[in-house]
Structure 1
Amino acid sequence: MTSDSPRVTLITGSSRGIGSVLALKLAAKGEHVVVNYKKNAELAEDVVRQVREAGGGGIAVQADIEEPDDIDALFEAIRTEYGRLDAFVANAAAAAFKPVSGLKLHHLDRSWAMNVRSFVLGAQRAVDLMDENGGRIVAVTSYGSLRAFPTYASLGAAKAGVEAYVKFMAAEFGPRNITVNAVNGGLIDTDSLEYFYERVPGMAPMNSVIEKVPLGHPGTADDMASAVEFLLGSGAGYITGQTITVDGGLTVVAPPFWADTSGELRAAVYDD
């Protein structure tokens, strides 16, 4: 990459939420963004439109990152369009919110494929597209990797696995001037937060958790995107193998607790 060449960044799951906010931040710097989406082409194309209006460039590429063939096709599209990649942000995630005793084989398989396997396969392919100037890899993780929250075992364990891979990748890719880091989010005000606290039966009320956050409020997609943007930038060139936690102090106090749940969900742990 020459000094006058716009940087090219792939952000998985970037048709909405944190990924789309990050895409616009990078676009404001004149960079190119590959907007990956699974289903909603219209939403992804709208993000690309906004990216271009903000001064950047980009393309939308459909790929289900649970599928290795789709991952291959995603990176081939990048190779065809740009011939290289400067940064890879693993942002897409999914899992079942159930007690460990309720996890079925397909829940375990999907959590691994969606969150861990896709990150490893994506990083392998991203590194192959990075030139002699190196690059950046950032994984978006979440608070369940640090604390045992109700129904979060499947996703939390997967994100802990991703954070472990971050360390190994940092050691292996460092000689190629590629940094690898993670941004771990707490209560972030996105669609996922609403789903977790309002659609998981018996979950502790969201406000009962928010009031325990030291900063007193949930974070925003912009808070997360800003942390990722920092790790992608030149100011973070000597930071690698690290996880930055963006949670307002949530994991210092660590709610919600199983004791805060109710109904059948509480009964999964407590024999009241």
Structure 2
Amino acid sequence: MKPFNQSYALIIGGSSGIGYATAKRLLESNIPVVIVGSSMEKLKTAQSELSRFGQIETIQANLYHEADIQRVVDFAGNFSQPIRFLVNAAGYFKPTPFLEHTANDYNTYLDLNRASFFITQAAARNMAANGGGAIVNVGSMWAKQAIKATPSSAYSMAKAGLHALTQHLAMELADHNIRVNAVSPAVVRTPIYEAFIDPTELDATLSSFNSFHPIGRIGSADDVATTIMFLLSYEAKWVTGAVWDVDGGVMAGRN
């Protein structure tokens, strides 16, 4: 991996969806980006597509494997290469009734939180050693509101934990000039739904949720990336500890 000649952004889960859209916007703002993803094929595609916008590097890491997590932690621990921005966008979502949840289902969500926790710790240490930075976590509307049609107890528990972590880190890291915020999306067109929806039926299935949102449509990855970019930017210099609803109005009320 080539060293950057300036501070960079680290995006966990950056090879598709919201992470990918955020990487594109950062690159368009002349900020070098490192994206972390589990699929080498997706990483290669993302690097090929995004390289025309700026300097991008990739790290292949399965966040359920301790050795892979440690490689990302070690990478972030190189204080001579400053991290200015961190976006935690990795996710998994498969609605499962509470009475049918298994230990493996539960661990799928909570182990991902564990990986995010220690990668964020390493990135925050880097930021603290280099004058500060900004972190945005991708949470979820499901952490705030139960939806009977999509039973998501373990997922919501994990995302609620991420929301809580956002507020705690905002308090603890403020003295290091590090701001920490989160976005809380509703239904957004991303590959995360392919875990339980046939890809050939994905558009039609997600479109059926358009009327669920007061604005009248589901979100795009770029809708959320736009808000993430603002929260990372200097324009949001007085915003920390916030969990912003980016949800087409769902938390205000549903149709």
TM range (shorter): 0.7 to 0.9
Q: 1:163 to 1:189 in 2, by over 3 A?
A: same
**Which amino acid is 2:223 matched to?**
D
Who is 1:29 aligned against?
29
> Is the counterpart of residue 186 in structure 1 residue 183 in structure 2?
no
8 Å contact kept, 1:8–1:87: yes
Alpha-carbon distance in structure 2 between the residues aligned to 1:251 and 1:153: 18
Name which of 65, 68, 83 aligns with 2:66: 68
Name which of 136, 140, 149 aligns with 2:134: 136
Normalising to structure 2: TM-score of the pair? 0.87
8 Å contact kept, 2:173–2:179: yes
Alpha-carbon distance in structure 2 between the residues aligned to 1:250 and 1:198: 25
Alpha-carbon distance in structure 2 between the residues aligned to 1:12 and 1:181: 15
SS of match in other structure, 1:250:
coil
Stretch of structure 1 that moved more, 239-248 or 184-193:
184-193
Who is 1:107 aligned against?
105
1:162 positional shift:
0.4
Q: 1:132 to 1:206 in 2, by over 3 A?
A: closer
8 Å contact kept, 2:94–2:196: no
SS of match in other structure, 2:139:
strand
The 5 A counterparts of 1:18-167 are: 18-39=18-39, 41-54=40-53, 56-79=54-77, 83-114=81-112, 116-130=113-127, 131-149=129-147, 150-167=150-167
> Is the counterpart of residue 230 in structure 1 residue 227 in structure 2?
no
Who is 1:239 aligned against?
239
1:81 positional shift:
10
Q: 1:240 to 1:6 in 2, by over 3 A?
A: same
Question: Which residues of structure 1 form unaligned runs of 5+?
Answer: 200-204, 256-272
Residue by residue over 1:75-99, the C-alpha shift from the partner in whole angstroms, topping out at 9 and shown as x without a partner, is 3234569622111111001144211
1:151 positional shift:
1.5
Alpha-carbon distance in structure 2 between the residues aligned to 1:6 and 1:113: 32
Alpha-carbon distance in structure 2 between the residues aligned to 1:47 and 1:6: 22
Question: Which residues of structure 2 form unaligned runs of 5+?
Answer: 200-204
Stretch of structure 1 that moved more, 225-234 or 43-52:
43-52
SS of match in other structure, 1:9:
strand
1:154 positional shift:
1.5
**Which amino acid is 1:84 matched to?**
P
Normalising to structure 1: TM-score of the pair? 0.82
C-alpha RMSD of matched pairs (Å): 2.3
Residue by residue over 1:131-164, the C-alpha shift from the partner in whole angstroms, topping out at 9 and shown as x without a partner, is 3420111110111011112321121111011000
Q: 1:214 to 1:195 in 2, by over 3 A?
A: farther
Alpha-carbon distance in structure 2 between the residues aligned to 1:148 and 1:219: 19
8 Å contact kept, 2:141–2:184: yes
SS of match in other structure, 2:189:
coil
1:18 positional shift:
1.2
**Which amino acid is 1:250 matched to?**
V
Structure number with the bigger relative contact order (C-alpha 8 A, sep ≥ 6) is 2
Q: 1:82 to 1:91 in 2, by over 3 A?
A: farther
Q: How many aligned residue pairs are there?
A: 244
8 Å contact kept, 2:133–2:179: yes
1:51 positional shift:
3.2
**Which amino acid is 1:46 matched to?**
T
